[in-house]
Each structure stands twice: as structure tokens, then as C-alpha cells.
Amino acid sequence: MISFVLSLVALVIGYFFYGRLVERVFGPDDRVTPAVAKADGLDYIVLPSWKIFMIQFLNIAGTGPIFGAIMGAKFGPVAYLWIVFGCIFAGATHDYLSGMLSMRHDGAGLPELIGQYLGKTTKNIMLVFTVLLLIIVGAVFVYSPAEILHSIGGDTLMWIIIIFSYYVIATMLPIDKIIGKIYPLFAFSLLFMAAALMVWLFLHWPTVPELWNTFYNLGAATHPDTWKDNIFPALFITIACGAISGFHATQSPLMARCVKSEKMGRPIFYGAMITEGIVALIWATVASWFFYGTPAPGYTLIEQATAGFHTSAPAVVNLVCNEWLGVVGAILAMLGVVAAPITSGDTAFRSARLIVAEWLKMNQRPIPKRLLICIPLFAISIAMLVWQIENPDGFNTIWQYFGWSNQALSVFTLWTITVYLVRNNKCFWLTLIPALFMTTVCSTYFFVSKQFLGLGNDGYPYGAVCLGVAIVWFVLWYRKNNNLKQ
């Protein structure tokens, strides 16, 4: 538990000190924001800052900082290091700067920003990639809450139909009608769940592995039932939303279109990510007790554990909320866990609609034009969902591809921000180092993982080559850019 406390303190300190440094580098000012300049009553609407924070937090949370942290905890307490350092120096920086960059470009979506700084070809590739990722998010974030609701009552298919019906309504309506009204309440539920679990941890002070007791074993995951993958790069793909997530860069523009002043950016974008890191930290500690702690580890209580780790994450959530928080607490906690993925799913579809509309230059005020974009998006997502249901390991498979795609998108976002910082004579090291690190993580995972090329340990040299290529590419581009300025 000492590792947990130190990590918690580090995240809070990171917000106040490193967050302020990142803010100073960007330099927010008093210029008119897109929410005011382009107000349309649909997507560009000024909202109160506290409400934007709650919506942003709920949008980026989903099941990522919960399921990802539970899965990542099987790698041992080294997960704390990734959550803390990843969140402060990569994730929160990524979220803040992508949101502020969108604000500086009239609320532009991520593919438009990528195109402006990485070129038209990259933009077209990432346009397709981003929309597909958002559709996958919608499919993943339907299935997991439907399964959790099924454990409470009703049929899984019934809940899927209800959730998709909600998606259609929420994606089509102005952002202040449903999202602006009920999302803060759901965000409160999710925060209550995290706070209640943190209080439980402090009251019971369970014995869980500490960093200094297991630091000698950083080569592979430490739990006998977990993946056989090495910590690098598997840990950095598994814990995404609690550390850094490319999906967040698709959500930040939604809120960038609702912010009245640029100076509200740090508490909204950087702060929401730090809050998500705290949620991930809490669930990683809870899972550590389940897998390793004393007394009475709870892993044996999960019936599906022998079927593979991924399938047990929802069971951990369900069991913890019911066993630890009492009836009222369990209801509110489960509401937060269910609401988070559902709300992330509908804003994923909303982002996809706006990205496609921006590419087609299609006015979204007329409802038929919104439907024209939404119907194909929903159709593809439903097809993925059907495939998940019909295949015994469908959810796990899609989740793994989602994890890699999610982190790959963060790579392009970080490189986009790095180019922006270089062109504007700002401290580009803030994002260059995370960009190089995540480039190495994603490329290495592509070579070594069974989900892709499956080269195993033979794939590591190729990851190193990709890192070298990225460094050489940046140095050459940087010199060329400086020569052009001169």
C-alpha cells in the first residue's frame, strides 16, 4: 500500500507542477474560442467549465482505466510506474495539447490536425484509421456494459439493443441536450466508486506487493495465470486509458468546441487525465489484492479465472462492488462502471460523425445529413458486435486490437503536437520523448505479439530499428525546418 500512496501523491504533484509547465509552454491567452466564434447550438456551445471537466472525464474514461488497470495489475506493482509516469509525462500532456491545438484550429478534429502538421497522405490514412478505431470503441463499449447489466438482470441482447438505441439518440441530438445534462451525474457515480474503493483500501490497508519487493523481476508478468508476454511492450498496451490513450485525442475536440476561455484548458484536459490516472491506480491496487494480497486473495473466487485473464475483469468489478461497498454503494459504483463505457461509446460515434462530416464538408445542422453519416457507422459497429457474440473469444480479440490501435493513434497525435511545437519555437521535448517511446512500444508490439506478426523475442530488434528510423527522420526534418526558417 505504500507504493499506492506514493503513486497517488505523485499524480497530484504532477498536476500542479508539470501540468503548469506544459500550460506555460503552450501559452493560453484571451483569444476568442471556437465555442464563441462558431456557436451553432449543436456541437459548438459554451458550457460551464465544471460541466466540461465532468464530461471530458467521463468521455475518456470508459472501461479503460478499470479493465486495463485490472489486467495490467497481473504484471505486478510495476504497473504503478507506468500509470504515474505515463499519465503525467505522456497521457495528460497528450490530452491537454491535443485539446488546445484543436481550440487553436477552430475546433478541428484529430485527422484535420494530423493533416495540417504531418501531411495530406498521413491525414487520409489516419482519417480511415481513426474512424475505424471509434467504431471499434462503440462495439467494445456496448458489449462490456451489457454483460455487467446482464449479471444484474435481463438478457445481454436486450441490453445491447437498449444501449444502441441510446447511442442513436445521443449522437444525433445537440451536445447540451443529453450529454450536457446527464453526463455530470454519471461522472459523479464513477468518481464515487473510485473514492469509495480508495476509502476501503485505507481502512483495511491490505498487504499487496510493493515496488521495492518485486523490482528484481521486471522481465515478465508475475502472475502464473497471466499472459506469457514480457512487460515490454505488453504492459504499455494493456494499460492505455490510465496512462496514455489516442482515443482521448478524438474526444478532446468535442470539449474544445465548448470551452469559453483557453485558460480553462489545464483543469479540463490535463486535470481529467490525472483524475483518470487516479481511478486506474485505485483499480490496480484493488486487483493487486485480488491476485497477490493477504489476507484471502480473491482471485480464486472468480469462476472464469481458469478460462483466461481477460474474461475475469468484469467479474472482478462485479464482485468488488458488491462485496465491498454494500447495497447502495454497489448500485452507484456499478452505475458508474456501466455508464462510463456507454457514454464513451456514444461520444465515440459523435466524434466519428463529426470527423466524417469535416472530411466531406457536410453541414450537420439538417437531421437527414446527420443520419446519412450515422447509419453506416452504426451498421459496421453492429456487425462487429454480432461477430463478438458469435465467437467465444470475440470480445478479448477485439479488445486487444483496440488496445494496439488506441496506442498507435497516440503516436500520431504526439508527433503532430511535436511538429506544432517545433514550428512555433516551443519546447518540443515535452512530446518528442513520449512520441519516441510510444513509437517503440507500438512497433515492437506489432512485431512480437501473436495478434500481429508473432515473432516473439526475435521481433525486438525490429522495434529498435523503428526507434532508430524515427530519430533519424525527426533529426533530418528538424534541420530542414530550421534551414527553411533561416
Give the chain's domains with CATH numbers.
Answer: 2-421 (1.20.1740.10)
Output b/e per residue, 2-32; b: 16+ Cβ within 10 A: ebbeebbebbeebbeebbeebbebbebeeee
Q: Could you tell me which of 412, 445, 388, 338 has the C-alpha nearest to residue 121?
A: 412
∠420-240-354 over CA atoms, to 5°?
55
Residue with cell 481477460: 310
Whether 313 and 109 have beta carbons less than 8 Å apart is answered as: no
3-state secondary structure of 230: strand
pLDDT score at 413: 95
pLDDT at position 120 is: 87
- pLDDT at position 368: 81
Q: CA–CA separation, 275 vs 255, rounded Å?
A: 17
C-alpha–C-alpha distance, residues 237 and 233, integer Å? 7
Task: Give the number of C-alpha atoms closer than 13 A to the C-alpha of residue 184, restricted to the C-beta side.
Answer: 12
Indicate the angle between helix axes 49-61 and 248-256, nearest 10 degrees: 160
Residue 149: per-residue pLDDT: 76
- pLDDT for residue 222: 46
HSE (side-chain half, CA atoms, 13 Å) at 260: 7
C-alpha grid cell, residue 52: 466540461
pLDDT of residue 214: 60
Angle between helices 248-256 and 110-118 (to 10 degrees): 100
How many CA atoms lie within 13 Å of 38's alpha carbon, on the beta-carbon side? 18
Residues of the chain with pLDDT under 70: 62, 151-152, 213-229, 293-315, 318, 322, 328-330, 332-337, 392-396, 399, 484-486
